Chains A and B, each alone.
Chain A
Amino acid sequence: MVSRRGFLAGGAAAAASGAVGIAAGAAGASLAAEADLETFAASRQAEFYGPHQSGIELDIQAVTNMVAFDIKESVTKADMLRWMRLLTDDIARLTAGEPVLADPAPELAIGAARFTAYVGFGPSLFSKLGLESQMPEGFAELPAFGVDQLQERYSGGDVLIHIAADDPVVLAHGTRGLVRDSMPFASVRWVQPGFAHSPGMIPAGLTHRNLMGQVDGTANPELGSSDFDSVVWINDGPQWIKGGTLLVFRRIAMQLDTWDQLGIPSKEEVIGRKLSNGAPLTGEQETDVPDLGARHPNGLLVIPEFAHIRRAAPQESGERIFRRPFSYDNGMNERGSMDVGLLWTAYQRDISKQYLPIQRRLEQLDLLNQWTVPIGSAVFAVPGGVQGSELLAEALFS
């Protein structure tokens, strides 16, 4: 965010020196501004040290790898701490745009590109290590839902490293470093790559679009707000989870062939929002509050009974989540049907009180279910951030 402002200021400075009319100076400045413009994504840097791990309360990056691991049989708490020592140092360096220690390809550290990575732990890790007493409140495997068609290869895992950046090469290089340092302790269970818009595609604060075309993320708590804090960041319970959060991950396939057969009005009724700008069907702008009581002259609800946002809207005050979904594109079959969807993520303090009641309502009725199928699922408890020489999850494994 800081660098984006810096970039804007640079542009303004170039414009100003142009206005003064010193020809050479103006040309030099605009050349510099152009060079800045070409490489602005490289220099933008996320914050690693702080009360929370990075890559959650952040405008979504361009590309991601979610990597889930199963620990080796002999692994102990002490081994976990050694793993966390390696990851803490690696992530700090990669976030700063530097190679990790012992990097066999340091030349690939070409810019921070808002690299982030955070670590989370699945319920299975707590039982394998006998750490059940350290499980946060409202954290457990999800029950089965009627809409589920889950596949093992996309589900579960003892440990998650969720990596993201604004550049695919930076992402691949960082992923390689983190996975290399994980191999003494665990094996890879699954990796799920995803993406959002490239940097420079949409202004800050504008909500991204998913592959169904919808503006997706409007009703989220605002980054940096106290609302965000109270929905997402845990402030009690075991020491290690303070400043952390609970993640529900769902791989949700989109059936675009049948979705594309719908006309625009039907597509808009499925969600309850307009495709053009994400405004509720009862408003003009994305930020307008949906009027769930509004009716057409013929008496029908403007935002229908089956609309996704009606069903997903909180019924009790605490039933809110922060969603940060990346898209995935896993190729296509011989008939040209694309294997696409969302790496759907929801962050919250308490899964049982926040995600679960919403999902139960959507399971019963949500017209969107006709074009979306959950095919992967996992939950992870994400420890708080680190300061100074602390290690990630140090209090859990010490």
Chain B
Amino acid sequence: MRKISLLFLLIPLLVTGCTSPGGVVAEDLWVKSSEMSMQGGMTAVYGTLTNNTQQDVVLVGGDTEIAGVVEVHEMTMIGGEMKMQEIDGGLTIPAGMSIVLEPGGNHLMLMMLTDDLEAGEEISVTFDFDGAEDITVDGIVAKPAEGGDEDYHSGEMEMDN
């Protein structure tokens, strides 16, 4: 009985390639492939992050071979328009809770891409946390996706995605 329930707990971890059961667990991660995700361009990583620790954890940034700059972004209303901007101090995941990174919402922004990111490619991303160990997830697949009202103004930090 006990063995069985342990097995069930392990399956999601194996599937997402994340091996930090006491820390933050990432699920259903994907990265957007669009006409913007070309060398020098930008894209974002989405999915679910679950904080399995007893205290709040903050997503402060990340690291991946394919991007020169990685930032934690939010979407906010600025002058009547949805714009995205870096979240000051990072994104808090309360103890025992999950957050969803999704188009039109919070996301891990990848900028200054070092190569074209094409549909069906896989990348590896490290998520940096304050309050928990960083996690590295391999095999994050690039999905063709067009965000809603995309409005990129490179360099001005008004890039929707």
Residues of A within 8 A of B (CB): 79, 81-86, 89, 101-102, 104, 180-181, 183-185
How far, in Å, is A75 (CB) from chain B's closest CB? Answer: 11
Q: Once the chains bind, are B119 and A102 in contact (CB under 8 Å)?
A: no
A89 proximity list for chain B (CB < 8 A): 141
| A184 and B141 contact, Cβ closer than 8 Å, known pairs A82-B118, A85-B122, A102-B46 | no
Q: Once the chains bind, are B30 and A82 in contact (CB under 8 Å)?
A: no
Q: Pick the contact of B141: A79, A101, A104 (CB < 8 A).
A: A101
Question: What's the dominant secondary structure at chain B's contact region?
Answer: strand
A86 proximity list for chain B (CB < 8 A): 119-120, 141, 143-144
Q: How many A-B residue pairs have CB under 8 A?
A: 44
Residues of B within 8 A of A (CB): 28, 30, 32-33, 46, 103, 118-122, 141, 143-145
Q: Once the chains bind, are B120 and A102 in contact (CB under 8 Å)?
A: no
- When C-beta atoms are compared, the residue in chain B nearest to A102 turns out to be B143
A185 proximity list for chain B (CB < 8 A): 119
| A82 and B32 contact, Cβ closer than 8 Å, known pairs A102-B46, A184-B144 | no
B46 proximity list for chain A (CB < 8 A): 102
| A104 and B145 contact, Cβ closer than 8 Å, known pairs A181-B119, A185-B119 | yes
B121 proximity list for chain A (CB < 8 A): 82
How far, in Å, is A96 (CB) from chain B's closest CB? Answer: 13
A81 proximity list for chain B (CB < 8 A): 120
- When C-beta atoms are compared, the residue in chain B nearest to A85 turns out to be B120
A83 proximity list for chain B (CB < 8 A): 119-120
Q: Once the chains bind, are A181 and B122 in contact (CB under 8 Å)?
A: no
| A101 and B119 contact, Cβ closer than 8 Å, known pairs A85-B141, A86-B141, A184-B144 | no
**CA of A104 to CA of B143, assembled, Å:** 12
**CA of A230 to CA of B28, assembled, Å:** 39
